[in-house]
Amino acid sequence: VIIGSEKGMLQLWNISTKKKLYDFKGWGSSVQCCVSSSALDVVAVGCADGKIHIHNVRYDEELVTFTHSSRGAVTALSFCT
């Protein structure tokens, strides 16, 4: 399970063992939403600053960042396959 925080960080947890596996560096803005892609190891993260980050969680690598319009926080995301 991936958990986002108000501090802009992501954490990867193993729900079977109830142990945190990894802390991602995160961003300087509160995580408002997070969704996994059907592509292995890729998540989209929507932040309060209006940015959408596409992130590879296996390598802790930012693939691309989009800036939402000036309408504020990104509160919902979805991948379409």
Q: Tell me if the pTM is above 0.75.
A: yes
- Can you list the positions of beta strands (E) in 1-81? 2-4, 10-14, 19-24, 31-36, 42-47, 51-56, 61-67
The Cα angle at residue 73 between residues 61 and 70, in degrees rounded to 5: 105
For residue 61, the number of C-alpha atoms closer than 13 Å in the C-beta half-sphere is: 5
Q: What is the pLDDT along the chain (81 residues), one digit of tens a residue?
A: 999 999 999 999 999 999 999 999 888 899 999 999 987 899 999 999 999 999 999 999 999 999 987 779 999 999 987
CATH number corresponding to 2-67: 2.40.10.480
Question: What ranges do the domains of the chain cover?
Answer: 2-67
